[in-house]
Amino acid sequence: MFDGYDSCSEDTSSSSSSEESEEEVAPLPSNLPIIKNNGQVYTYPDGKSGMATCEMCGMVGVRDAFYSKTKRFCSVSCSRSYSSNSKKASILARLQGKPPTKKAKVLQKQPLVAKLAAYAQYQATLQNQAKTKAAAVSMEGFSWGNYINSNSFTAAPVTCFKHAPMGTCWGDISENVRVEVPNTDCSLPTKVFWIAGIVKLAGYNALLRYEGFENDPGLDFWCNVCGSDIHPVGWCAASGKPLVPPRTIQHKYTNWKAFLVKRLTGAKTLPPDFSQKVSESMQYPFKPCMRVEVVDKRHLCRTRVAVVESVIGGRLRLVYEESEDRTDDFWCHMHSPLIHHIGWSRSIGHRFKRSDITKKQDGHFDTPPHLFAKVKEVDQSGEWFKEGMKLEAIDPLNLSTICVATIRKVLADGFLMIGIDGSEAADGSDWFCYHATSPSIFPVGFCEINMIELTPPRGYTKLPFKWFDYLRETGSIAAPVKLFNKDVPNHGFRVGMKLEAVDLMEPRLICVATVTRIIHRLLRIHFDGWEEEYDQWVDCESPDLYPVGWCQLTGYQLQPPASQSSRESQSGSSKQKKKAKSQQYKGHKKMTTLQLKEELIDGEDYNFLQGASDQESNGSASFYIKQEP
């Protein structure tokens, strides 16, 4: 048990002197206990006995085991490395107009190219620091931890997102799991650690409390569980890092070893290979310069060739191949149903815009077909969808609505071209492609049964809208209910859960969002701070939904909740674009389920639909199970 929180090694090998300046190591604070491998707790009443910190690597250890006369280094290699680095630092000092140290005088005979190289490295370091600072400032106004704490929100668990890092191997990470994290309540000049317990989980983020604080939340802090500063208990022992109790509570116990033994006995911690699993789950097969076929964002009815420009957390920035300035781009996840391998469009009969580029550009290559998301195989030989059949579908140009729609063309491999009734262009340029198993298409009557507002065809005057009358007037038939996707996974989402979600109308943006409604596998996503007209219907397994903390983990920019002023200034053209659709009459929900059953569908199909009507709260897999008479 004690091995779980050993700190650093007490190597007592012979010491060696090293060339060093006359400055002494800064004295460490007095009476601060540090847990060592032999189980004793050392204190150091002065700066020249007890513990010392290596000035090269930051290692904390027993002072008598350190090297050089002034005990400044933990090993010969650190002593020599420090001497070498001091020479490089002197070059920078000279270039900045500062007088060189005594140790730097030997560099006066070095060629100018070496000095320039050192200075270039120095400038690059400054630039990286500036970028890191700028990224921190951009999110300074929003903190997931404060947002959740101040409003008592709940976040969707990582296990709800199978496509996200660790989504399939999150394991038993839960409250009361113990971890080793940096101790920020400490005045030591080097980085030290202490054990903390998880108080609350919110996606990847955990609210942690240092051991010894009991019920005192005074120093609680949020940390990304998949970050580089969180480790399983025992990591410090294996890495030679010291465990130091926080300064605020160091007076509470005289025997910290006994305290930790008691607290950690029987406690859970992260798996020892947790960081390796995190790293592996963040390796993505898509690489820059890969070519794909992707939907044409200006003409949804066709696809175009695009090239992967960058990959962030599995999200792809695709640049259309004909874009000379590389600004005509499209963002989507690598598992998105909107991207396909080269040749996909021809193989199923989908429209395709041929590129004016006659040959591949240097370095570009076709993405292997096996990397794309697989669709479920279907049997089209028997009863199948036919052109002209009616259904209900999420409008890809206004994702807050489910509309009356028509199958316009049946493609190969189960794909369908669908148009929104009353809004179609004469040339079919606004048709869109859904697979027969897509969770974005529904049988006639789905909205009525589940009390969702159905958007009737634009210009349709016989209101309230009734499917039976509409089918009779148009001479159409409804697509058979049994052909639609019947699978409803036990997804784990609940109403009110927080998450990070792509704004699919502006897919480069990922925003703070909330699940406001659940209809089986269909989620209503609300973007915090925005009006409900910007809500979007999204499938529970959509790769455009992410756990809280995903943006921080992957380095993607998160859009915080919009304030009133930002809503007015940022909505711009997208709001005007949606205004035209929002002005159309969406109909009233006046037809009863009994009328729908009698007028439109037979009893078996009605049971198929109605079996889903009361599952909003739990996402149960009982939806679409045929009820026996």
**pLDDT tens profile 84-99:** 665 555 555 555 555 5
Burial classification of residue 491, based on how many CB atoms lie within 10 Å of its CB (0-12 exposed, 13-18 middle, 19 or more buried)? buried
Per cent of the chain over pLDDT 70 is 68
Given a cut of 60, is residue 256 above it in pLDDT?
A: yes
Among 45-59, 268-282, 364-378, 582-596, which stretch is predicted with the lowest mean pLDDT? Answer: 582-596
Q: Is the pLDDT of residue 266 over 60?
A: yes
| Cβ–Cβ < 8 Å for 291, 365 | yes
> What is the percent of the chain where pLDDT is above 90?
59
Has residue 468 got a pLDDT over 90?
yes
Element holding 260 (H helix, E strand): helix 256-264
Q: Which residue has the higher pLDDT, 80 or 618?
A: 80
> With 80 as the cut, is the pLDDT of residue 255 above it?
yes
Confidence at residue 406, expressed as pLDDT on a 0 to 100 scale: 97
DSSP 150-164: HHT-EE--GGG-TTS
pLDDT tens string 112-122: 545 455 555 55
Question: Which residues make up the CATH 3.30.60.160 domain(s) of the chain?
Answer: 51-78
pLDDT of residue 629: 32
Task: Give the pLDDT score at 67.
Answer: 66
Q: Per-residue pLDDT for 103 more than 60? A: no
Hey, how many other C-beta atoms are within 10 angstroms of the C-beta on 270?
A: 24
DSSP-H helix ranges across 45-174: 76-95, 112-138, 144-151
Q: How far apart are CA 66 and CA 179, in angstroms?
A: 29
pTM above 0.85, yes or no: no
Q: How confident is the model at residue 141 (pLDDT cuts 50, 70, 90)?
A: confident
pLDDT of residue 130: 52
Q: What is the pLDDT of residue 5?
A: 42
Say whether pLDDT at 563 is over 70. yes
Angle between helices 112-138 and 76-95 (to 10 degrees): 90
pLDDT the model gives residue 97: 56
The residue to which tokens 């993405």 are assigned: 367
Confidence of residue 599 (pLDDT cuts 50, 70, 90): very low
pLDDT for position 65: 60
Lowest mean pLDDT among 156-165, 176-185, 602-611: 602-611
What pLDDT shows up at residue 316? 97
pLDDT at 234 over 80: yes
Q: Comparing 56 with 132, which gets the higher pLDDT?
A: 56
Burial zone of 387 (CB within 10 Å; 0-12 exposed, 13-18 middle, 19+ buried): exposed
pLDDT at 59 over 80: no
CATH topology of domain 51-78: Wheat Germ Agglutinin (Isolectin 2); domain 1 (3.30.60)
- Judged against a pLDDT cut of 60, whether residue 224 lies above it is answered with yes
Tell me the three state secondary structure of residue 523: strand
Identify which has the larger pLDDT, 135 or 215: 215
Is residue 140 predicted with pLDDT exceeding 90? Answer: no
Q: What is the pLDDT of residue 361?
A: 73
Above 80 in pLDDT, residue 165? yes
Mean pLDDT is lowest, of 72-86, 279-293, 370-384, 401-415, for 72-86
* Residue range 507-530, pLDDT digits in tens: 999 999 999 999 999 999 999 999
**What does the pLDDT look like over 471-520, one tens digit per residue?**
999 999 999 999 999 899 999 999 999 999 999 999 999 999 999 999 99
CA 132 to the chain's CA centroid: 19
Mean pLDDT of 317-339: 93
Per-residue pLDDT, averaged over 571-593, amounts to: 40
Average per-residue pLDDT in the chain? 79
Give Cα 245 to chain centroid, integer Å: 33
Q: What is the three-class DSSP state of 542?
A: coil
- Nearest residue to 442 via CA among 279, 609, 276, 275: 609
Phi/psi zone of residue 512: left (φ > 0), alpha (ψ -120 to 50 degrees), beta? Answer: beta
Topology annotation, domain 497-559: SH3 type barrels. (2.30.30)
Contact, 18 vs 83, CB < 8 A? yes
pLDDT attached to residue 350? 96
The CATH T-level fold of domain 389-483 is SH3 type barrels. (2.30.30)
pLDDT of residue 611: 43
Q: How confident is the model at residue 4 (pLDDT cuts 50, 70, 90)?
A: very low
Quick one: pLDDT band at residue 131, thresholds 50, 70, 90? very low
Q: Would you place residue 70 in the very low, low, confident or very high pLDDT band (cuts 50, 70, 90)?
A: confident
Residue 467 · residue 457 · CB < 8 Å? no
Q: Which residues of 531-556 are buried (b: 16+ CB within 10 A; e: fewer)?
A: eeebbbbbbbbbbbbbbbbbbbbbee
pLDDT of residue 127: 55
Q: Is the pLDDT of residue 337 over 50?
A: yes
The pLDDT value recorded for residue 98 is: 54
Cα 256-257-260 angle, rounded to 5 deg: 85
CA–CA separation, 111 and 64 (whole Å): 40
- What's the CA angle centered on 542, arms 546 and 353, to 5 degrees? 120
Tell me, what's the pLDDT at 120? 55
How many residues are listed for the chain in this entry?
A: 629
Whether the pLDDT of residue 198 is over 90: the answer is yes
CB count in 10 Å sphere of residue 310: 14
CATH of domain 173-270: 2.30.30.140
pLDDT, position 44? 37
Average pLDDT over residues 228-253: 92
Structure tokens at 180: 């080793």
CATH 2.30.30.140 maps onto the chain at 173-270, 284-371, 389-483, 497-559
pLDDT in tens, 37-49: 333 333 434 434 3
Architecture field, domain 284-371 = Roll (2.30)
